[in-house]
Structure formats: C-alpha cells, structure tokens
Structure 1
Amino acid sequence: MDGHNYRQNNTIQYCFPDNNASCEKETKESLEYILLCFILSCVSVCTVFLNLLVIISISHFKQLHTPTNLLILSLAVADFLLGLIMPVDIMQLMDSCWYLGIIACYMSPIISFVAMYGSLWCLTLIAVDRYIAITDPLHYSRRITVQKTLLSVILGWCFYLCYTILYLYFNDYFFQPQLSTQCYGECFLAIKYYWVIIDLVVAFIAPCSVIIILYSSIFKVARHQAKSIRVVNNRISNKNGTKMLGSSEIKAAKKLGTVVFVYLACWIPYYLSSVSVDNLTSSSVVWNILGWLLDFNSSVNPLIYSIFYSWFKASLKYIVTCRIFESSSSRFNLLIEH
C-alpha cells in the first residue's frame, strides 16, 4: 500500500509517530516487493558467506600467502563489506524510512562507495598481476612480491577513501541536516551531474580500460602458448603415440574472459544510465536497480576467483569439518594434488 492510499483511507503512517517533523511511511507490501526482497536477501547472505570463506581461507593457511591471493583477499574484503551493507538497502526498499540515525546515514554511503571502489581497484591489480605472471614469468617473483602488493592495496584503498569523501563533500552530502530539509527519517544522496562525469572517468573508464587492455594482451599470449603446446604435443604424439594435455592456458584465458564479461555486464548499465540524466538521487528506482546489479557482482567475484581454484575447494573442506581449529592447520598442504 503506497502513501496515496494511506491518504485516501485517512490512515497515514509516519516513520516516527512521536515526532511532528517525521516523514510519512510508504510500506510496500505487494507480493512483487516481498519476492524481490527475499531474492535480494539471499544474494546478501551468499555474498557475505562466500566472501567470508575466502577471507578465512587466505588469512588462515600460510600456503596461500602469495601476492595473487593477497589481491583476492582484498577483493573479498571489499565484497564482504558490500554484502553487509545490503540489508540496509533492503530495509529502505521495503520501507522508505531511515531508522538508523544521522551518523549511520553519513557512514553508509562512505562504506558502500569505498568498498565498491576497492573492489574495482582489486580487479585492476589482479589484471596487472596476471599480465606480468603470463608475459614475464621468469621475473615475476622479483617484480611482484607480497610487500609490493600489500603497499599497492593500501595505497589504492586510501586513494578511494579520500576520493569518496571529496565525492560526498562536493555533492553537499555533509551539509544537509538529516540529509533532507523535508522531514525527519529520510536519508538520500543527490549527485551533481559534473560529478557523474568525473566518477565515470575515475571509477569506470580508467580501470576498465586497464583491465581490457591487459586481458587482451593475456589472450594473445595464451593463444600463442596454446599453439606452441599443440605443436609440441603433435610431435610427441607422432613419436610415442600419446598426446600431452596442454590446455591450462586456454582454461585460464576462458576464466579471464568470464571475469571481463561479468565486470562489464554489471557496470556498463549503471554508468550509461548515470550520464543519461541530469540529476541522480539514491531514492530513484533506476539508482536502486542498477545499484543492486553492482552488488550482485560482489557475490559472483568469489565464485570466479576462488571456487574454480583447487586450493579453495581444499580449504573449504577443512573449514566445514572444523579442522582449521587444529594447532597445525595453518600449515596444511592445500596444493597436494599439484
């Protein structure tokens, strides 16, 4: 039942009945909204759970303390934070009121934006890491170290934290009492159009260009290596009557292709719609729908980067069976098959 029906039936409900300045409550009780909130709740739970498994796995097992896995850990932390913020968005979807207070209203977009940008930064660093690993494998261990990777992650998160504060500052987010001059119990963000363009460049075009260029180069190298392996296999097959399997590069290329596809599929609609209107507000339907599409990417990331890896499957067994509580569990060999 929407606000118009409340007025017709003279049963107007307020977010805070004891406050004369309270906003009117617009509770959405239709079956469609209930079903939507149920689906989004499942996405939120899966996002938190899957990324938490990745965080525990990489943090606990010393064998996984590598530069690449450190980037995956940072990505999982960013996506984990986004998963924790999702219930707040679900609450506002079902009930237009904001019950968490002014401080939470200030902090919610900061956490959400920093985590979202942090996720993008990690995706970019992973592309750089894989590019160097495939194109210059002999010098990879010297060029990419845990210390350098950790420094890159920290600098990226600090940059996007400062960027988020400036983003909100210049959109007058910190100067609005209750973030709304209309009534008490409302929390929304209005984005100025020139900041939409700035954000398009900083948070999408720049990292997206780097990712596409690097992955394109990776595809070329993987294709070249696959051809070379086929030539070697054919020679061995002609001599011994057997054929060696050399498809690891092809599988890696396909996996990277999945990463690029999911990344673009989730982000392109958001930024295309953002530049098509003069003013965006967090209360708009388009903002919410496309925002949930970005959150969906956070639940897919651990599937792409972790579940397809054998070490994650091995660590999952130890976590589920509670063997990680053994004193020597941090030294378990997760790559025994290799």
Structure 2
Amino acid sequence: MKNLTKAYYCFPELNSSCTKDFRSPIGYFIMYTFFLSVSVSTVFLNLLVIISISHFKLLHTPTNLFILSLSVADLLVGLLVMPVESIKLIETCWYLGDSFCYIFPYITFVVVLVSMNNIVFISIDRYIAVCDPLRYTLSVTPGKSALCVCLNWCASLVCALLVLQDHLLYPESHRTCHGECLLIIQLPWIVFDLIVSFAITCSIVIGLNVKIFCTAKHQAQVISAFTARVKAGCANRMIDKSNSKATKTIGILVTVYLLSYMYMPYYVCVTFQGTFTSASLVANSLVWILYMNSCMNPIIYALFYPWFKASAKHIITLAILDSGSSYYKVYSELS
C-alpha cells in the first residue's frame, strides 16, 4: 500500500509533490513511439536540408539561406522542444529541474517565431523573383539575405522576451506543487502575440501569394499565346521548361498559403480563453500542431525543389565524403 501511494506522486519523498497520472504500458509504448517517430523525422528531414545547403556550393543562394534558417529553427524544435514536451505530456510531471523550466518556454517561443517569420521572408523572396525578375539579383543579395536572417533571430529573441517576461521574472508565482512546470500568459500579451506573430505574418504571406498567383497566371497566358506562334522545336522545349518551373513555384507558394492557417486554431483558442496555460489539454493539442509544422516545412520548402532529391541522394549514399563533392552540379543532375 505504501508503494502504491508513492507511485501516484511525482516526488513521493516530498509532501508538496504534484500528483502523477498513470497510463497502461501499452499506452506508454504507443505515445512514446509516436512522439519519438515525429521527433526523429523532424530532425532527419531538416538535417538533410541543412547539410545539403551548407555542403554544396551551388546551393549557396539568397533563397536557400532563408530555407537554411528555417531548417535550423525546425531542427531545434525536433531536437529539443518535441522530446521535452512529449515527456512532459506523457509523464505529467516535470523532472528536468526548475532552471530549465524557466528557460524552456523561452527557447520554444524563439524557435517557433523564427520558423514562422522565415515563411514571410521566403514569400517575399519568391514575390520579387516572380513579379520583378529583372531586378531580383540586385534586390536580393547574399548579404541582404544574411542581414534579414540575423534580424529575424534577434527580433524573435526580443518578442519572446516581452511575451514571457512575467514567466521569466516571477517563475515561482504560478507553481502550486513540486513536479509542475506551468506556463501562464495573460490576455494582453496573447493579443500582442496574436497581432505580431500571427495576424501580420499571415496577412503578408497571403497577400504576397495572391499577388504572385495573379502575376504567374498572367505570365502563363502570355507564354501560352507566344507558344501558339512559335514553330521551332527548340523554342517550344524552352517554353515548356519555363512553364514547368512556374507550375512548381506556384504549387509551393499555394502550399505556404494553406500552411499559414495551421496556426489559426491555436491563436483563436487562446484569445477566446483569455489566458494560456500549459496545463490545458486543448492548449497542448493545439501547440503540437505548431510543432508538427516543423516536420512539414522541410517537405514543403525542400522536397518540392529538384536539387533536394539529388543532394539527399549524395548525403544518404555518403557520396559527399568524396573530395570535390561540394562542387557537384545538383541542379543539372535532374534536368
């Protein structure tokens, strides 16, 4: 009876210990297997993107720099945030210490914000490429892209600090027992996060994608009319290739447009509740939608690009260990 009583507490030796929920062995196995699979997949896919862009010289472009920043943020989600959140959700106790409890929400907010903001920069990059291609090389340079990436990370650090200032300054005020790591965000900061992190981000992405779609549609009509007048086979092949690339670009951007709505349930829910608490089952479920997005991002922003298939093949087969592999023509290998 004594052992049974101890088993219901996170820290049986402490009188102020939180209670612990029990699950069946099968339940533990299924939940750990699922969350481990998601975490490993997120790390693996984003690691492929990071290695590809970092290793192959031809992939050192302004566009891919944004994708690299996105993958680094999503890698941290899969490597750190997902495992910790899954253990907390399954065990219903916090065993990682008070200090990490204070800093972990801040790390989570930063990497999620960076991931979301990178979607904006990628959309802006594609907007300039489609709507103003003649000035693209002048408007978008590696230096400007690197500056935008740095500003993104710095702004996310500051924004997360503002939203979580109450949690960071007064961490003990929300804890009711030992073994609990509770995050509570009040309504004013929820509204601030809603406007800065969601409303502005989503509006920019949707607006740019609508403009891109309209421009691409007009360009497709022009190309189609021109194709009808062209008889040379060589010219026809060039136009078909342009059409193919335009179609792939539109597909990726439309996916981004749809992807932005994955954040809506979370923000709508916490706004109507008036507060966010990490103890809420609904809040935890919606937060995991945000985390799952980090697994989808490399699929959307990398697997749809032809160079990723070639570079991933070289990485998996360890061909990148060969001297001079960084100069492989990953673009032309699939053309």
Answer yes or no: same fold by TM over 0.5: yes
In 2, Cα distance between equivalents of 1:291 and 1:87: 14
> Where in structure 2 are the equivalents of 1:183-262 lying within 5 Å?
183-236=177-230, 244=237, 245=240, 246-262=243-259
Asked if structure 1 preserves the Cα contact closer than 8 Å seen for 2:102 and 2:171, the reply is no
Q: Deviations over 1:223-271 (max 9, x none)?
A: 001101111112225x77x95423432332122111211221x111111
Judging changes above 3 Å, is the alpha-carbon distance between structure 1 residues 118 and 140 closer, same or farther for their aligned structure 2 residues? same
Deviation at 1:10, TM superposition (A): 4.9
Judging changes above 3 Å, is the alpha-carbon distance between structure 1 residues 30 and 174 closer, same or farther for their aligned structure 2 residues? farther
In 1, Cα distance between equivalents of 2:47 and 2:277: 31
In 1, Cα distance between equivalents of 2:129 and 2:236: 26
Equivalent AA in structure 2 for residue 199 of structure 1: D
In the alignment, does 2:74 pair up with 1:69? no
In 1, Cα distance between equivalents of 2:184 and 2:314: 46
- SS of structure 2 residue aligned to 1:188: coil
Equivalent AA in structure 2 for residue 225 of structure 1: Q
Q: Deviations over 1:192-221 (max 9, x none)?
A: 011111110000000111111111110011
Q: Which of 40, 56, 59 matches 2:54?
A: 59
Asked if structure 1 preserves the Cα contact closer than 8 Å seen for 2:57 and 2:327, the reply is yes
Aligned to 1:279: 275
In 1, Cα distance between equivalents of 2:244 and 2:276: 47
Aligned to 2:159: 163
Asked if structure 2 preserves the Cα contact closer than 8 Å seen for 1:106 and 1:174, the reply is no
TM-score, normalised with respect to structure 1: 0.91
In 2, Cα distance between equivalents of 1:213 and 1:21: 52
- SS of structure 1 residue aligned to 2:302: helix
Asked if structure 2 preserves the Cα contact closer than 8 Å seen for 1:226 and 1:247, the reply is no
In the alignment, does 2:122 pair up with 1:122? no
Aligned to 2:14: 19
Q: Which has the higher helix share?
A: 2
Asked if structure 2 preserves the Cα contact closer than 8 Å seen for 1:133 and 1:140, the reply is yes
Equivalent AA in structure 2 for residue 263 of structure 1: S
In the alignment, does 2:294 pair up with 1:294? no
In the alignment, does 2:143 pair up with 1:147? yes
Asked if structure 1 preserves the Cα contact closer than 8 Å seen for 2:311 and 2:330, the reply is yes
Deviation at 1:63, TM superposition (A): 1.0
Deviation at 1:31, TM superposition (A): 5.1
Asked if structure 2 preserves the Cα contact closer than 8 Å seen for 1:15 and 1:97, the reply is yes
Asked if structure 1 preserves the Cα contact closer than 8 Å seen for 2:46 and 2:71, the reply is yes
In 2, Cα distance between equivalents of 1:223 and 1:33: 51
- SS of structure 1 residue aligned to 2:87: helix
In 1, Cα distance between equivalents of 2:97 and 2:149: 32
Equivalent AA in structure 1 for residue 75 of structure 2: F
Deviation at 1:135, TM superposition (A): 1.1
> Where in structure 2 are the equivalents of 1:64-103 lying within 5 Å?
64-84=59-79, 85-103=81-99
Q: Deviations over 1:97-155 (max 9, x none)?
A: 11111121122111111000000111000011001111111111111111110011101
Equivalent AA in structure 2 for residue 191 of structure 1: I
Q: After TM superposition, what 4+ stretches of structure 1 lie above 4 angstroms from structure 2? A: 9-12, 30-34
Asked if structure 1 preserves the Cα contact closer than 8 Å seen for 2:131 and 2:215, the reply is yes
Aligned to 2:326: 330
Aligned to 2:303: 307
- SS of structure 2 residue aligned to 1:251: helix
Equivalent AA in structure 1 for residue 136 of structure 2: Y
In 1, Cα distance between equivalents of 2:102 and 2:19: 21
TM-score, normalised with respect to structure 2: 0.92
Equivalent AA in structure 1 for residue 268 of structure 2: L
Aligned to 1:108: 104
Deviation at 1:96, TM superposition (A): 1.1
How many equivalent pairs are there? Answer: 328
Asked if structure 2 preserves the Cα contact closer than 8 Å seen for 1:51 and 1:76, the reply is yes
* Percent identity for Structure 1 against Structure 2: 43
Asked if structure 1 preserves the Cα contact closer than 8 Å seen for 2:174 and 2:184, the reply is no
Judging changes above 3 Å, is the alpha-carbon distance between structure 1 residues 37 and 272 closer, same or farther for their aligned structure 2 residues? farther
Q: Over aligned residue pairs, what C-alpha RMSD do you find?
A: 2.2
Equivalent AA in structure 2 for residue 252 of structure 1: T
Aligned to 2:44: 49
Q: Any unmatched runs of 5+ in structure 1?
A: 1-5
- SS of structure 1 residue aligned to 2:95: coil
